[in-house]
A and B are shown apart, each in its own frame.
Chain A
Amino acid sequence: MSATATSPSKTPERIAHKGLLEVRELTTRFKLSQGWVRAVEKVSFSLEPGESLGLAGESGCGKTTAALSILKLLPENGRIVSGEILFDGKNLAKRTEYGMSKIRWKEISMIFQGAMNALNPVTETGKQIAEPIILHEGVSQKEALKRTRDLFELVGINPKRVMDFPHQLSGGMRQRAMIAMALACNPKLVIGDEPTTALDVMVQAQILDLIERLRRELDLSFILISHDLSVMAETCDKGVIMYAGEVVESGTVAQLFNDPRHPYTRQLIKAFPNIHERREMVSSIQGDPPNLLDPPPGCGFSPRCNVKTGACTDDPETVEVEPGHFVRCHLVKAGVI
């Protein structure tokens, strides 16, 4: 909440920050009739240009809300309560709706969850992809459609199918079309919200491979939102593990998977089977995630934690256990784990 609000003057000053995107203590809440839901609480992370970051956690942990906050696409009852979203020298948290419309798609775009429903079923796929190009770059529809054909080629769909309706494309092709749409205006940052969740394993592998290739070729920064830690392990450079709206651990994927410190990260990783290792029953985490209308005091994970102590009802501090590896747990701070 520093006083760096961009004034409505012609040349807003650049705010100095880390990397391409830096999210500082972002807090987002939803208003319900019963009160305010703590969806995202003091979430901080940063992203270098060309880097890929995974945002992982179970459903309801706030990962999608964090991403929607970055683009300010929250539903009407959602509000960014505090914190800064610093992107390329601008604080997006303070931007007006008009200011955001210049950023969306042109600089930050998103691949939405469920390609089946994200495309308009009664408009030709190509026209939907051409729309942001026409809007942001003021080119003619003919020119935009020509560029759409190139985008189709880039993502591996036959350009002849540019005038197909979404139902004429297969699930994998629709997801590719969504990726083409996200790349339409050459953004710097692409956010993928569960881009492969509803897809078959083989199609998932194709799409992840495509994203990886495009990221290299176009030097994109990428945020992958996924509940699947295995996918994050294979595709991202860095990872952020969220639980009950808070970041519990973050670091490089090597740090997170080979030296997990937070009890939640440890238990969550064990819940994923590794087909190349010895076969054993995967474990689960007892209990249910907390009700975020009335979150438990202190560490949000403590009610389900298998190593909790009396201190866990106080707010834990985030400690840097290794350069770049942050953990939010009392026991880690005390040096127990």
Chain B
Amino acid sequence: MATETKTPAGTAPAAGEGAPERHHHGRVGPDELARAEVKDGVLFDVRGLEVFFPIHETFFRSMVQKEKRYVRAVDHISFCVKQGEILALVGESGCGKTTTGRTMLRLEEATGGEILYKGLPMRSFTGRALREYRKKAQIIFQDPYNSINPKQTIFDIVAEPLEVNGVTSSEHEKEERVVKAISQAGLRPAQEYLYRYPHELSGGQRQRVCIAGATVLEPDMIVADEPVASLDVSIRNDILKLMVEQKDTLGVTYLFITHDLSLAWVISDRIAVMYLGRIVEIGHTEEVVANPQHPYTKALISVIPVPDPLAKREHVILEGETPNPVDIPSGCRFHPRCPMRIDACREIDPPDVHIGGDHYAACIRLK
């Protein structure tokens, strides 16, 4: 499936040639991980990442069928996450955006390709190094109603990551860090919230608690998986603002996973549009939205509803639905639904085409 000519979309200039230098053929020690520095501003370098899930077949089928079948959730994607940016992964359900995020947190194992964290291959993090890594990468889930323990106080919820990782040496230091994280998450004065329970808070406040729990360890990156999808409009914008604020003041890097391109447009620095396990277009947010190149991105942007009844724009409505990620169409996987397909699309798996700057799109018609 993977084309050899594929250029890593949006990777830093240093990456690409002979990157995995140094000595980590084996394991990476926790100290090495703690000491690792960001090079050329690239925090994560994802190269040809593949995450396949095997399908459990019936006994009969497994005997008859020669090839083992897989759900190709993420199918050979390359991109980088720069330090201190908000990178939005946008796509419809089933496009692999959440799997990508989870793999970057090592909640899912990659079946192919590699992810370099500060130049170190993530696959070699085991034992203590993996624990060290867990402090560096955190997650915020979609639903703040079910992702925190209703029986714990806000203090306990936010302090738990510190306790689990044995980060703080004294009760006093722990409290200081918890209070700091809570007030950075916008719950001020923090003292007032410490001994409350989740049910006393509104949805927006609960999501702030989740954010405080994620930032208390001062991680390098937070994966925010649809953090505002279950919140009301009037509240969700505050959470988005908070993410931008934390990026600016704390230098947290966010991987913002969302199905809503307009939200990605509001807060992200760069956007990667995914379709059926592939990144079809990646680039600076304003550039991708104002000047989309891939037909899928164009269609997606055209159908986003806008609060203006006089804007009569043409909607490019794609026929059918996203195919399942087991039987991926040949050639360009978007070709069965593409309004601009040509015959060659059926055979050629399109490589990334450089549009300009950081902007890449995978479509053969762009050459």
Contact = CB atoms under 8 A, between A and B. Distances in A.
B259 A233 contact: no
A293 interface: no
A202 B317 contact: yes
Interface in A194-210: 200-206, 209
Contact of B317 (A206, A231, A233): A206
A257 B309 contact: yes
A254 B308 CA distance: 8
B261 A58 contact: no
A58 B299 CA distance: 28
B305 A231 contact: yes
B307 A257 contact: yes
Given A200-B92, A209-B315, A231-B305, A268 B234 contact: yes
A257 B301 CA distance: 21
B313 A272 contact: no
A275 B265 contact: yes
B317 A205 contact: yes
A274 interface: yes
B36 to A, nearest CB: 34
Contacts of B244: 281
Contacts of A101: none
B304 interface: yes
Contacts of A205: 303, 315, 317
Given A279-B265, A281-B244, A229 B317 contact: no
Contact of A284 (B92, B235, B289): B235
Contacts of A268: 233-234
A147 B310 CA distance: 38
Given A234-B306, A257-B309, A273-B266, A209 B237 contact: no
Contact of B259 (A201, A230, A254): A201
Interface in B133-184: none
B311 interface: yes
Interface of A: 58-59, 170, 172, 200-206, 209, 227-231, 233-234, 253-254, 257-258, 267-269, 271-276, 279, 281-285, 288
26 contacts: A58-B232, A58-B234, A170-B321, A172-B321, A201-B92, A201-B303, A202-B300, A203-B92, A205-B303, A205-B315, A206-B317, A209-B317, A228-B305, A230-B305, A230-B307, A234-B306, A253-B309, A254-B310, A268-B234, A273-B262, A274-B262, A274-B306, A276-B306, A276-B308, A276-B313, A282-B237
Given A202-B318, A283-B237, 5 more contacts: A227-B233, A233-B305, A258-B309, A268-B233, A279-B286
